[in-house]
Chain A
Amino acid sequence: MKILVGIKRVVDANIKVRIKADNSAVDVEKLKMVVNPFCEIAIEEALRLKESGVATEVVAVSIGSDSCHEQLRTALALGADRVIHVATDEVVQPLAVAKLFNAVVEKEKPGLVLFGKQSIDGDNNQSGQMLAALSGMAQGTFASEISIEGDEIMVTREVDSGLQKVALKLPAVVTADLRLNEPRYVSLPNLMKAKRKPIESISVAELGIDITPRLSTVTVLNPPERSAGEKVANVAELVEKLKSEGAL
């Protein structure tokens, strides 16, 4: 079985981003960029399925400018067999991401598609579900455990009320939640080796997909600031303060 994994280049989660002076966008210039943490979990799961003999090939795909080669090389260094770069310098919103991936799915015909549940920049949590819709596949979102059983995949989903287990017909789209696994680290020698491996590139035009954004950004502003309050000396003072505010 071939597994297709979607990966996105995002600002490192530990960086507090700043907004551009003209309030048009978040300023990501010169910031440390990484593979979106949930996409890392998706890659890891694909690699584990390959290592356990369930999958035969892991193909990582990323959409964006040439700068996302860096993240694709990380995927190669982690153990992906091939990587595909869908090249565009335009803004690609989730619906367009899903359409582009759908075109790649038609070419590659994977047995399983793994995404992260959301990217930590846009926080949209849409692309996996949208790809599943467009490709007519079943979807297992917020996955914390998966296993392939015959022509189905069992997915344990972390939902608001607890855990839900569903069986999905393959091929399916699964989006990774935090606890699906703990991703491995990239080793430096592997990263060096990955630099010599090829990156397949395909343009949006070649895929014939209209990626015109449906949503336009009017402004990007700072959220209302919350300022630090006071320090209390002990528990008794804390309880007294909270009582006087009517919070207890």
Chain B
Amino acid sequence: MSILVIAEHNNEELQAATANTLTAAKMLAEKTGSEISLLVSGGNCSAVAEAASAIPGIAQVLLADSPALEKQLPENFAPYLVELVKEKAFTYIIAPSTTHGKNILPRAAALLDVAQISDITEIVDADTFIRPIYAGNAMQTLKSSDAIKAMTVRTSAFDPADLTGGSCSVEKLGDAADAGLSRFISEEVVQSDRPELSNARIIVSGGRGMQSGDNFEMLEKVADKLGAAVGASRAAVDAGYVPNDMQVGQTGKIVAPDLYIAVGISGAIQHLAGMKDSKIIVAINKDEDAPIFNVADYGLVADLFDAVPELESQL
């Protein structure tokens, strides 16, 4: 049996999600006696593959460097991935449960005529995996009968693996074809000096209680003092206060920082699904009956417009 891990990167460097995914792959490798190969697929991304060859515990890096793969368009990448899996007889394909992993892997799985197991949080054995359903209100243990198992990994459920200290070979793969179905037009990458939500050690999040997008500046000030990322509940995104890439929850990002400070967030099921695995949860809300207090380690019943500036001044 052999495992193929799809690396998450931006053609320049590996992204954090890769490290968490590798931990899951290593656990699976141990249980199944498999080797791990890491696929770096993109355009002008050989530096990423070079860096990845220092990852300990993997057998090889496969480099697919091709113009048709540069923007990770699934119409080009999925058939390429399928051919690679067939040719090298991989029995597991693992990707992080990021928007990229979620985009690409189901398309490849369907072409292989296998099911996908989304968002695994635990590996039981070679065929059996645990994943959350109903916004994390239930944990489902699934057994797969497919010969090839495709799965995405919930990155917050696995610690990041070391990315340096090892040495393995890089095998350069052939070019990919352009399927002619899709074209990349543009991207707007959110520029921020703050850490990314998915790997921040501290997150300060705001909900509908913030009342406006402008008021998020209060949270940003606190975040800057703490070196934290700023998140938001779906309600705040829905109300148009902040962009969707800040959304923490069932349908946004799933996070598990050391400290999560929820400000003006009531604690809807779908928000809790995204943050309840945080080590310490703090809730600041003026409604003492807000469900967020049921999961908070420290609850402060207060008007956030008083409490947040005070918090900032005391940091």
A contacts, CB < 8 Å to B: 11, 13-14, 16-17, 19, 26, 38, 93-95, 98, 117-118, 120-134, 136-139, 141-142, 144, 154, 157-169, 172, 177-179, 213-223, 226-232, 234-236, 238-239, 241-242, 245, 247-248
Q: How far is the CA of A129 from the CA of B15 in the complex (A)?
A: 23
- Give chain A residues whose Cβ lies under 8 Å from the Cβ of B142: 215-218
**A17, A121, A218: the one within 8 Å of B141 (CB):** A218
Q: How far is the CA of A41 from the CA of B297 in the complex (A)?
A: 36
- Give chain A residues whose Cβ lies under 8 Å from the Cβ of B310: 235
A19 and B115: CB pair below 8 A? no
How many residue pairs between the two chains, A and B, have CB atoms under 8 Å in the bound complex?
250
**A122, A216, A241: the one within 8 Å of B143 (CB):** A216
B contacts, CB < 8 Å to A: 10, 73-75, 78, 98-100, 102-103, 105-111, 113-119, 128, 132-146, 180-190, 198, 202, 226, 234, 237-238, 243-245, 247, 250-251, 253, 258-259, 268-270, 276, 279-282, 293-302, 307, 310-311, 314-315
**A11, A166, A242: the one within 8 Å of B298 (CB):** A242
Q: Residue of B at shortest CB range from A159?
A: B99
- Give chain B residues whose Cβ lies under 8 Å from the Cβ of A38: 251
Given that A178-B238, A218-B142, A229-B299 are known contacts, is A165 also in contact with B185, CB under 8 Å in the complex? yes
**A123, A137, A235: the one within 8 Å of B135 (CB):** A123
Q: How far is the CA of A221 from the CA of B121 in the complex (A)?
A: 14
- Give chain A residues whose Cβ lies under 8 Å from the Cβ of B234: 178
Q: Residue of A at shortest CB range from B146?
A: A214
B299 CB to closest chain A CB (Å) equals 5
A163 and B187: CB pair below 8 A? yes
**B137, B139, B181, B314: the one within 8 Å of A235 (CB):** B314
**A14, A94, A169, A218: the one within 8 Å of B128 (CB):** A218
- Secondary structure at chain A's binding surface: helix, strand, loop or mixed? mixed
**A138, A218, A221: the one within 8 Å of B181 (CB):** A138
A171 CB to closest chain B CB (Å) equals 10
B134 and A229: CB pair below 8 A? no
- Give chain B residues whose Cβ lies under 8 Å from the Cβ of A165: 184-187
Q: Residue of B at shortest CB range from A245?
A: B280
**A124, A129, A221: the one within 8 Å of B107 (CB):** A129
- Give chain B residues whose Cβ lies under 8 Å from the Cβ of A93: 115
- Give chain B residues whose Cβ lies under 8 Å from the Cβ of A216: 142-143, 145
- Give chain B residues whose Cβ lies under 8 Å from the Cβ of A123: 118-119, 132-135, 250
**B75, B110, B189, B311: the one within 8 Å of A98 (CB):** B110
B190 and A232: CB pair below 8 A? no
- Give chain A residues whose Cβ lies under 8 Å from the Cβ of B253: 160
A215 and B250: CB pair below 8 A? no
Q: How far is the CA of A169 from the CA of B179 in the complex (A)?
A: 11
List 19 A-B pairs, Cβ < 8 Å: A26-B133, A95-B115, A126-B118, A129-B105, A130-B116, A131-B110, A144-B244, A160-B98, A162-B188, A164-B184, A169-B180, A172-B181, A178-B237, A223-B138, A223-B139, A231-B301, A235-B310, A238-B311, A242-B259
Given that A161-B190, A228-B295 are known contacts, is A220 also in contact with B182, CB under 8 Å in the complex? no
Given that A137-B181, A231-B293 are known contacts, is A242 also in contact with B140, CB under 8 Å in the complex? no
B107 and A133: CB pair below 8 A? yes
**A136, A223, A241: the one within 8 Å of B132 (CB):** A223
Q: How far is the CA of A139 from the CA of B99 in the complex (A)?
A: 13
